[in-house]
Amino acid sequence: MSRFFVEPENIGTNLIIMNNPDDLHHMMKVLRLKEGDEVDISDGVRWEYRACIESLNREEAELKILDKQAFASEPSVEVTLFQGIPKQGKMETIIQKCVELGVYEIVPVFMDRTVVVDRGNFGKKIQRWNRVSAEAVKQCRRGIVPQVAEPVKTEELLRDRTGSGTPDLFGDFDLVLFPYENEKGTTIKEVLRAATAADSRPKRIAVMIGPEGGFSDEEANAIVAAGGKSVSLGKTILRTETAGMTALAMIMYELEM
Q: DSSP H helical segments within 76-216, as ranges? A: 90-101, 122-140, 154-157, 188-197
pTM to 2 decimal places: 0.84
Q: DSSP H helical segments within the chain, as ranges? A: 21-25, 90-101, 122-140, 154-157, 188-197, 217-225, 240-256
Confidence at residue 142, expressed as pLDDT on a 0 to 100 scale: 87
CA distances from 223 to 24, 33, 183, 198, 214 (A): 46, 51, 13, 23, 13
List b or e across 89-116, with b for residues whose CB sees 16 or more CB atoms inside 10 angstroms.
ebbbebbbbbbebbbbbbbbbbbbebeb
Task: Quote the CA–CA distance of 144 and 38 in Å, as a whole number.
Answer: 20
Hey, how many other C-beta atoms are within 10 angstroms of the C-beta on 83?
A: 28
Close Cβ partners of 134 (under 8 Å, ≥ 6 residues apart): 5, 145
CA distances from 172 to 3, 198, 202, 204, 214 (A): 31, 18, 11, 8, 25
Task: Quote the CA–CA distance of 140 and 138 in Å, as a whole number.
Answer: 6
Confidence at residue 150, expressed as pLDDT on a 0 to 100 scale: 93
Task: Quote the CA–CA distance of 95 and 91 in Å, as a whole number.
Answer: 6
Confidence at residue 168, expressed as pLDDT on a 0 to 100 scale: 62
Confidence at residue 200, expressed as pLDDT on a 0 to 100 scale: 76
Query: pLDDT truncated to tens, each residue of the chain (257 aa)?
Result: 788 999 999 999 999 999 999 999 999 999 999 999 999 999 888 889 999 999 999 999 999 999 998 887 789 899 999 999 998 889 999 999 999 999 999 999 999 999 988 888 888 999 999 999 998 988 788 889 999 999 999 888 877 545 555 556 677 899 999 999 999 889 999 999 998 876 678 999 999 999 998 999 999 999 998 889 999 999 999 999 999 999 999 999 999 88
